[in-house]
Structure 1
Amino acid sequence: MWVISVDVVQLTWRNGLDDAETAEVENLLAETERSDGVAPAGEHVLLRLRAHRGVTEQIEPVRADTGGSEHFVVRAEQGELAGYAHLDTEGAASGEPLVAELAVHPSFRGRGVGGELVRALAQRAEVPAEEDPPEDAGRLRVWSHGLLPGAVALAERFGAGRVRELWRMGRGLDGAELAEPVLPEGVSIRGFRADEDEREVVRVNQRAFSWHPEQGGMTERELREKEELDWFDPAGFLLAVDGSGTLLGFHWTKIHPDGSGEVYVVGVDPDTQGSGLGRALTLAGLRYLRDVGCSRVMLYVEGDNGPAVAVYHRLGFERWDVDVQFGR
């Protein structure tokens, strides 16, 4: 652990958090989301916060102690949690950039908390610590969810450029007329079966998203962890299989607490490309979400994936907002 003290805050680095500190971080993330209208960290960060290594692997028995995760915690003078950053280091061994997500409590903005977090992340990633570095070092990526003005100003201050955009697109479902899915000959759709389908879903997912920096690496363990989440419903996890039962693709839907739906993942085996299976699965999932009462639906798509964006436009989706990854 190392500590940096500044005027009104103290920043510490952790490779694991105890139960009390994990709860504080989760509360800070929730408060930030309520204030900004967008979650400051992705779902995988929450999963990491709630996970832990086996006791035999730990120096201390703490939560949020998983391989590939590091935590930066900022406290104010009275000990209040003022800011937090999660650093994903899983790809570091293969030379991939470290990826960070951070949040500053609304009550402590404008007091240098965000700047201290970025400096600490830059130091950890061994990129130039000074502001306005001459170029992107390719070692650190920091997400801004919702592209809020404060995040943009912070990125500009530290000379970080946009290296990736993730669009959030959406459409209404109330009374929507959705075409009947047209499946390739011999293909049918059924629901997900726990303890039976995990291996095949992971296989198809890896083939479908071999190019994707996050989705392509999903493991059976991670899939089973998501099966334990409150929102998981096998009825909304639609699998397309051929006559022999081989999985060809899937549409994993999600229903949020506010009742809105999400095209969580649509994955199709590359060998089926051009068959129309992706569109059919997407329509099947949209019809499912409409029929269970979702009034609107959203999805995430890479901003530079022109063909996918065009498909979603044809299905009635429009861009709502954008997440941006800044590079240092």
Structure 2
Amino acid sequence: MSDRRIEELTVLPEATADEVLALIAAGAEEDGQPAVSEQGRLRVRHGERAGVRHLLLWTGPEHTELTGYAQIDGSDPVEAPAGELLVHPGRRSRGHGRALGQAMLEATGKRLRVWAHGGHPAARHLAVQLGLKLFRELRQMRRPLDPAASDLPEARLPEGVTVRTFEPGRDEQAWLAVNAAAFAHHPEQGSLTLRDLADRADVVFVGLDEAQDL
């Protein structure tokens, strides 16, 4: 009997979703940041999404211990499916990551892009084992916006321009249009939908054209 079992699902039961999020949190505490993106974590909880699959790696005598998790997003009609994965910090260096990565490659016909958040040496080592090559690297730049902790000058708006807070039920379509235009070059950020926005706001927008798709 194998010491691990990999299960593929398109929808995670609530209890399983809780386990997955706890696993991601445990990994983030160990690694300094989540191995699964915000969008990926939202997909864990918010039901079935077209093209999205969840791979669960179970271990233990009865295969009841959630040891690894991977998510594959094949919704992009042009780009190869994108994936993210992690193994529980206390059960690493036992071949589980390689088994999970190989399962992802098999599930996608070896046409796969894998995000490794943080660029940890272990992730680079696993990439070599799986025959993957680095082709894109993102760097994040930040600065504080709190006036007390920042030297930013006071904002001066052009004449005739006003600023107000976002209003749910009124501003969604306009926000999505601006976001799509600003990130037309970005395959993930530029393709946000009304459902993606609703997931992040944790609300359901009623009365909009796409509300029935939520």
On whether the aligned pair clears a TM of 0.5, the verdict is yes
Tell me what 1:189 maps to.
Answer: 163
Q: Distance in 2 between matches of 1:51 and 1:176?
A: 37
Tell me what 1:67 maps to.
Answer: 50
Q: Distance in 2 between matches of 1:83 and 1:222?
A: 25
1:212 Cα deviation after fit:
0.8
Identity of aligned residues (%): 36
Q: Distance in 2 between matches of 1:38 and 1:105?
A: 14
Tell me what 1:149 maps to.
Answer: 121
8 A contact 2:6–2:56 mirrored in 1: yes
The alignment partner of 1:12 has SS state of strand
1:170 Cα deviation after fit:
2.4
1:199 Cα deviation after fit:
1.0
Q: Distance in 1 between matches of 2:68 and 2:201?
A: 30
Following superposition of structure 1 onto structure 2, how do residues 232-311 of structure 1 map, counting pairs within 5 Å? Answer: none
Tell me what 1:23 maps to.
Answer: 18
Q: Distance in 1 between matches of 2:34 and 2:80?
A: 22
RMSD: 1.7
| Runs of 4 or more above 4 Å deviation | none
1:82 pairs with 43, 67, 72, which one?
Answer: 67
Q: Distance in 2 between matches of 1:95 and 1:169?
A: 29
Note the residue ranges of structure 2 that are not aligned, 5 or more in a row. 204-214
Following superposition of structure 1 onto structure 2, how do residues 145-224 of structure 1 map, counting pairs within 5 Å? Answer: 145-172=117-144, 173=146, 174-224=148-198
- The 1:145/1:182 distance shift into structure 2, 3 A limit, reads same
Q: How many residue pairs align between the two structures?
A: 199
Tell me what 1:110 maps to.
Answer: 93
1:67 Cα deviation after fit:
1.7
What is the CA deviation profile of residues 89-109 of structure 1, one whole-angstrom value per residue up to 9, with x for unaligned ones?
111xx2321000101001110
Tell me what 1:263 maps to.
Answer: none
Q: Using structure 1 for the length normalisation, give the TM-score.
A: 0.58
Larger RCO, structure (CA 8 Å, separation 6 or more): 1
Tell me what 1:33 maps to.
Answer: 28
Q: Using structure 2 for the length normalisation, give the TM-score.
A: 0.86
Tell me what 1:226 maps to.
Answer: 200
What is the CA deviation profile of residues 218-266 of structure 1, one whole-angstrom value per residue up to 9, with x for unaligned ones?
122221232227xxxxxxxxxxxxxxxxxxxxxxxxxxxxxxxxxxxxx
The alignment partner of 1:120 has SS state of helix
Note the residue ranges of structure 1 that are not aligned, 5 or more in a row. 53-64, 128-138, 230-328
